[in-house]
Structures are given as structure tokens and as C-alpha cells.
């Protein structure tokens, strides 16, 4: 009975995983295949990171143009790895330090609840403070998909919401310091530095 329940849970996890990444794309298929390989090896924390936008600029690589780039991060045999995937090819995994995955493991519950807030400023109208939230649609989003034995945790947030200290260049963004201190921003900075070093 126990084996049956475990088998059902593994099948359910595989179905849920496939729902997260677009497996219609070459990149998505290759990333999902790698995730399944790692899960079969009992790797307990796997992170897929990518940036999505309405205006992504394709990158020419030899004879191929990369329209989609994703990164997988995991720990195996006490070594931390990052692997880059594009629609052109799957790169070889390279090692990285443990800071990124340690931050996730040590703050998982906090990250699960955490939100990056919209830029917000206060102005005075008729002698009373009024809160205004600024929302924009034409922006790039950071996406973290964290695969664990508990399931998949997806966190998606806009770069714009993190970088905007002043709304419209003059109003102090009340959300700025909250967003800067967040674990999600720390993860973004760590992975950003690593990606710049390998590209």
C-alpha cells in the first residue's frame, strides 16, 4: 500500500511539473527532461530561473537565434550546479557556490509568503494623505520555479517594482525599501551575478 501511495504521489508531481514549464518549446522540453532526471536521482531542491517579457530581444549564437533562455540550479553530491538552456542548445552544467540554494533552504517558508509590492506613493488631497499605486504592463518579470518534495513554488515579480525608488522620478516609492530587503531580491541579485559571469 505504501509503495502504491508513493507511486501515485510521484506521478502527480510529474503532472504538476509539466504544467509549470511550457513543454511545447525546445527549451521547455529539455529543461523538463533534466528536471525529471534529477528527480529520479532524488535531488530534493531544483530551481528553474528565467526572465520573461513582452519585448525580449533574441540573441544570435553562431548560426542559431536564441529566443528563450532558462537556467536550472541544483545540488548533487555536495556540489552546487547551474545549467543554461536555450532553444539552440543545452549547455554543460558548471559549479557555483552554495549561497543561492542555502538562501532558499533557510528561508523557504518566508519566500513562500513573500510578495514584491507595487510602487506606491502618498500625496495630500484636501488635507488627507492618499495612497497611489503605479502599475505598468510592459515590463520584464523574474520567474523562480522551486521544485521540492513538497511540490512546486512559483514566484514571479517585475524588475521595475524592485528598481523604482521614485515614482515618476519625484515621488518616493513607499514599497522600495521593503522590496530591497526581500529574500526574492537577494535571490535575483545572486543569480544575476552568476549569469553575467557565465555569459
Beta bridge partners of residue 46, listed in sequence order: 74, 147
Confidence class for position 23, pLDDT limits 50, 70, 90: low
What percentage of the chain has pLDDT greater than the value 90? 54
Report pLDDT digits (tens) over 112-147. 999 999 888 877 777 777 777 776 666 789 999 999
Q: Is residue 148 part of a domain?
A: yes
Q: Is residue 64 part of a domain?
A: yes
Q: Is residue 14 part of a domain?
A: yes
Tell whether the model's pLDDT for residue 4 goes beyond 50.
no
Report the C-alpha gap between 158 and 168 in whole angstroms.
17
pTM strictly above 0.95: no
Q: Is residue 61 part of a domain?
A: yes
Q: Is residue 77 part of a domain?
A: yes
Q: Is residue 129 part of a domain?
A: no
- For the record, the C-alpha cell of 122 comes out as 502618498
Task: Find the domain containing 42 and state its range.
Answer: 2-113+137-158+180-198
Q: Are 119 and 167 in contact, with CB atoms under 8 Å apart?
A: yes
Tell whether the model's pLDDT for residue 36 goes beyond 90.
yes
What's the DSSP call for residue 98?
S
Q: Is residue 101 part of a domain?
A: yes
Q: Is residue 164 part of a domain?
A: no
Residue from 99, 38, 40, 109 nearest 74 by CA: 38
Structural domain count, the chain: 1
Amino acid at each position: 500500500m505504501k509503495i502504491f501511495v508513493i507511486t501515485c504521489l510521484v506521478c502527480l508531481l510529474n503532472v504538476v511539473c509539466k504544467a509549470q514549464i511550457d513543454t511545447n518549446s525546445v527549451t521547455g522540453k529539455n529543461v523538463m527532461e533534466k528536471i525529471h532526471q534529477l528527480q529520479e536521482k532524488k535531488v530534493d531542491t531544483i530551481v528553474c530561473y528565467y526572465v520573461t517579457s513582452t519585448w525580449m530581444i533574441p540573441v544570435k549564437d553562431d548560426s542559431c537565434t536564441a529566443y528563450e533562455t532558462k537556467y536550472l540550479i541544483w545540488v548533487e553530491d555536495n556540489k552546487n550546479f547551474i545549467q543554461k538552456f536555450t532553444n539552440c542548445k543545452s549547455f554543460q552544467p558548471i559549479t557555483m557556490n552554495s549561497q543561492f540554494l542555502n538562501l532558499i533552504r533557510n528561508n523557504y517558508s518566508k519566500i513562500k509568503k513573500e510578495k514584491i509590492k507595487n510602487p506606491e506613493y502618498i500625496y495630500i488631497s484636501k488635507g488627507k494623505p492618499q495612497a497611489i499605486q503605479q502599475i505598468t504592463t510592459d515590463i520584464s518579470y523574474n520567474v523562480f520555479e522551486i521544485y521540492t518534495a513538497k511540490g512546486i513554488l512559483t514566484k514571479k515579480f517585475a524588475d521595475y517594482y524592485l528598481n523604482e525608488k521614485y515614482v515618476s522620478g519625484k515621488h518616493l516609492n513607499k514599497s522600495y525599501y521593503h522590496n530591497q530587503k526581500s529574500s526574492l531580491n537577494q535571490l535575483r541579485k545572486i543569480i544575476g551575478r552568476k549569469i553575467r559571469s557565465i555569459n
